[in-house]
Structure 1
Amino acid sequence: MNKIYKVFPGGKFKVLTFSYDDGKIEDRRLVKLFNKYNLKATFNLNTGIINPEIRIPQEEWTELYAGHDIAVHTLTHPTMIRLNDYAVIREILEDKNNLEKIFHRPITGFAYPNGSFDSRIVDIAKSVGIKYARVTNDRYAATKAAENYASSADGPIPIGDENGFFMPDDYMRWVPTCHHNHNLIDFGKKFMALTKKQYLYMMYVWGHSYEFERNNNWEVIENFCEMIANRDDIWYATNSEIVEYNELFDRLEFFSDNEYVHNPSVKSVWLAVNNDTIIEVKGGETVKL
């Protein structure tokens, strides 16, 4: 029987994505940089906060963020776990409605403001059409915490595999790889060096564009983008593209003997058959494997 493995578009096994919050005016420079190097990002916006001195006016959003992803960041950026259910619903759903009216497309992503969430917030977000949500912790922070604990405990603590470049178990509690101030270049070099194609790897970078201006370190993201762009083994995707692609794969209909597969979706899905043969299964096709 054939062994079938999921691969990313074009048969790639690595994906890079970015997530940036708040829609501050420094997004203009960051978007220009991403566009220069053909990189994809998700921008998490608050539609209830209007401050043209520090935030990009909403009338600029559709042009500025064209080609990138947009996600909910709540209406007014509250600490969510302190709100009652009605306020949580309002914060998420009104921001979602406003964004969909501005961008004329479904908005299904979310970034928890201030990193504040619990199971109640997750359930409410899912109930109003949110498919994925990013937290503010990251693999780097978890690694350092584990290292600090292990230094005073009886031995090392497992913190993940392959430096944390793995796909999430729960997209509603999506943990990034690193903040851009957390050894970004070193993470990028380790990511580029990964070669074991029997795995899928993801590097997920998050932050706020205003931090580059505040810390006077734009060179961090500029050097990273130049280093990691335009590689033929990396899929450059937005958050929602990653989620959508996984949904496409999950909808594939395999024959019981794994000799054929039917793709009931409109978009293509790629498979690795017996590790070495890459097959594109186009929308509506039934393909012999």
Structure 2
Amino acid sequence: MSQIMMTFPGGKHKVLTMSYDDGTDHDKKLVEIFNATNIKGTFHLNSGLLGANGKISKEEVERLYKGHEVSTHTVTHPTIERSPRERIVEEFVEDRKSLEQLVGYPVRGTSYPNGSFNSYVKEILPHLGIEYARTVHSTGNFWLPDDFLAWNPTCHHNQDLMEKAEQFVSLNKKQYLNLFYVWGHSFEFERDQNWQVIEDFCAYVGNRDDILYATNIEIVDYINAFRHLKFAADSQFVYNPSAQSVWLSVDEKIVEVKGGQQVDL
């Protein structure tokens, strides 16, 4: 009986994603750092606050975040678990509509403003087109999320970032998949005068052949594509109904299952 396991694209077993909130002007410097080191970020924006009080303007959004992901953060950044259903719906749907007009693709994720959410909010989100939601509860580990609507990051960038980076880079056991998820706000680097923290981190973990660099939604889509694979009852072949490729480790041999194709295992 073959041993069949999911890998990340190309057979990689480590993925890094970055998640930054509020869309302040300091995102410009952060995006430059990411772009120089092949790192991808997800940027959670409040469409109702764009262009005000040091925030990115609407006209800058598409160009600045090209190659990264724009995600919702509600229109006005309320404490969402204290909001009535009607306001929850409007905050997320109107934010999606406004941001989609700026970037030209479906906006499908969020981070909870003020870290506020509860089970009631989680139940509503899928009906609003939201497929994942990041919390502010750091796990300190590199596990894949069990619940995309309560997606706990590895750490905030002020939580021993380089120590965790060294741990992540040194991981070499391919029986595990490892996700390093960093979150924060770009204005914190300016406030704390510690831009060197993220510059050193990105220089260290970026541009590595054994790490996949992905946005939040790219990770969601890939894992869902794996979950939607149709395996034969005896696992001798598999059909991929999705549009994107999925990579498998079959008895330690890396196999690409292209979108719309069936592959013998």
Partner of 2:104: 104
The number of equivalent residue pairs is 265
Matched ranges for 1:122-137 at <5 A: 122-137=122-137
Deviates more, 1:247-256 or 1:184-193: 247-256
Shift of 1:52: 4.1
Q: Which amino acid aligns with 1:30?
A: L
C-alpha distance after superposition, 1:207-228 (max 9, x if no partner) = 0000000000000000000001
Partner of 1:155: none
Shift of 1:37: 0.6
Q: Which amino acid aligns with 1:208?
A: H
Q: Is the 8 A contact 2:138 2:153 kept in 1?
A: yes
* TM, length-normalised to structure 1: 0.90
* TM, length-normalised to structure 2: 0.98
Shift of 1:133: 0.2
Structure 2 residue ranges without an equivalent (≥5): none
Q: Is the 8 A contact 2:80 2:116 kept in 1?
A: yes
Partner of 2:15: 15
Q: Which contiguous aligned blocks of 4+ residues in structure 1 show a shift greater than 2 angstroms?
A: 50-53
Partner of 2:192: 215
Shift of 1:139: 1.5
Match of 1:229 among 194, 206, 213: 206
Q: Which amino acid aligns with 1:22?
A: D
Q: Which amino acid aligns with 1:21?
A: D
Q: Assess, with a 3 A threshold, how the Cα gap between structure 1 residues 50 and 166 changes in structure 2: closer, same or farther.
A: closer
Question: What is the Cα-based RMSD across aligned positions, in Å?
Answer: 0.9
Structure 1 residue ranges without an equivalent (≥5): 141-163
Partner of 2:55: 55
Matched ranges for 1:1-289 at <5 A: 1-140=1-140, 164-274=141-251, 276-289=252-265
Q: Which amino acid aligns with 1:105?
A: Y
Shift of 1:204: 0.2
* Secondary structure of 2:146's aligned partner: coil
Q: Which amino acid aligns with 2:29?
A: R
Shift of 1:53: 4.5
Q: Which amino acid aligns with 1:175?
A: N
Choose 1 or 2 for highest CA Rg: 1
Partner of 1:152: none
C-alpha distance after superposition, 1:57-84 (max 9, x if no partner) = 0111000000001111000000011111
Partners in 2 of 1:210 and 1:202 — Cα distance? 25
